[in-house]
Structure 1
Amino acid sequence: MSEALNDEIEAINSIYGDNTLVQATQDPDPSIFILTLPGENTASLRLQFPAEYPDVPPVVLGTHSLGAAGKHGAAAHDLALFREAVGEVYEPGVVCLFDAIEKVQELLLSAGTKEGPAEETAEPPEEAEKEAKEADKDQTTNNPDPDSMSSNTNPPPPWTLSALFTENKSTFLARCAPVTSPAQATSFLAHLLASDKRVRTATHNITAWRIRGDGGTSFQDCDDDGETAAGGRLLHLMQLMDLWDAMVVVTRWYGGQKLGPRRFALINQTARDAFVRAGWVREEGGQAGGSGSGKKKGGK
């Protein structure tokens, strides 16, 4: 098993749950794995990873178990969608399962065949969008809320903000900053929550950070803040982009209409926009610089 595949298995299982991607123990071929797609009543699929993976794509062999209460049609549908997703997202030399699974979730949602995890309710959508825009305006200049400065007099962290992303009245805003220790990342988050009421009262503040410590020790952590699995997906995005000594906070104001699995794509899209604005992402024909700079590959 290649190091890239081993890392991908660990990442997939940490994001979607243990045993999401496991080796087929009853198959004599060690390159055969079983992928259980997220969600209820979905099929498990048999995948083969050639020794050259990810330089060549995985092979989707077929279904391992039937979904949708054992209906062959539903299992075949899941299989077809996954094959379509792999074909769309695969790039030679880059692991693709996370993007393929996310693509399948988008396709299932758009087809209206399955529902995503339940989403929390929050303040009225008009108020959420208004507060998010005010937060963007205030925080662009790193000016914390003056009403709460009495409880936190430290200088504001050097946040770089993303653009505001709004869909079905849910609004997303990301902030990223360079950090050198877990303690600093924790203090930056504490300062943000203490100094900005709009952020503090948002539906979710999803965080992730990766830090290279002294002596070869590294630290990485995440927090879903009630949006199950969102923190792990943010951390996985940073891993794919090879970002280090960096943290990101994605704030979501829920707008009253459920987004299903699409919300996870929006969370990562917002985070990636902040990374790009910070100059940490090397684009085609461009350069990246500063703390957190890493590989060209980013989120979708």
Structure 2
Amino acid sequence: MNGSKKLFETRELLLWLKVKIKVNLEHQVVNLAQPLAILAEPGLLGASIEPTTDLHQAPTINSMNEDLHNEIEAINSIYGDNSLVGTSEDNVYILQIPERDASLRIEFPPTYPTIPPAILGSQSSGEKTRKGEAAHVVTVFRDVLGRLFRPGEVCLFDVIEEVSNTLAETSESLVDHNQQNTESTFDAEPEDEGQRPGDQALYNPPPWTLSDVVVELKSVFIARCAPVSSPDEAKRYLQHLLDSDKKVRSATHNITAWRIKGENGVTYQDCDDDGETAAGGRVLHLMQLMDLWNVMVVVTRWYGGHQLGPKRFSIINTVARDAFVKGGLVKEESSTKKKGKH
């Protein structure tokens, strides 16, 4: 009878040890010395077994970079809860700009702060946000980050403070500028909504040709192209688009590329990933293969919460090509071409 009792207790102990080791493996905390030591303790088989570790306890080693973890806690303590929060996307966080109705998508590499974070673009902008302000915030943030980042040193607090000061100065200058324009044009004819004084070139919307919309795992892609004759014109067209279209302004990425032949045979080629790494270069390469000149293209993507992997590049090039075809820039056999103007 005593032998059967000890055999039962031995099996019970081994079962508990098996569960404990399994849980520790799931938590990536493996300590085989402790359970082996328990087996060696004399008289244990006759004693009751009371695990000292909660089987549902959270992992003791956080997979997050410790420096980043501490910085997130500091930012949320200084600027308020949820100022910097994670997303379903690995290493991607949403930063709410203090005292601004705008937020940014930021990707922190696993080796941060050895490598700087990447500003993927604007996440959202509120109803009271002025046209173009979200894009301006992204530009300012990238510029400040580039100036202040030092390898091995966390930098987000310093960047946020510098960005806040810069945006405050910009807002004050804009208010003074608007007041001066209001006084000087008080008796002039009223301007159309959305127009800003001083830039006649932006009064007429660019002649965009739109591609078909492509939706993949809730991510939405659309491209638009327009003829351009100079890099300055291409930049004005892009700024007009961001200023006048809130949906485009709040998109995750606005990938741009253009190829221009100027006077005396001077050529200009440029592209911008806007956070979608290598996407701008791929679109520019597509334009080179198609031998397109004096045209620009903007591919807009709204992230749907699911990573697409390399497939996203194929979709980006597909909608870009579709815009070129619909714009009459490419001879496409068979189907008739339909233009969508915006």
Q: TM-score normalized by structure 1?
A: 0.46
- Determine which structure has more spread, i.e. the larger CA radius of gyration: 2
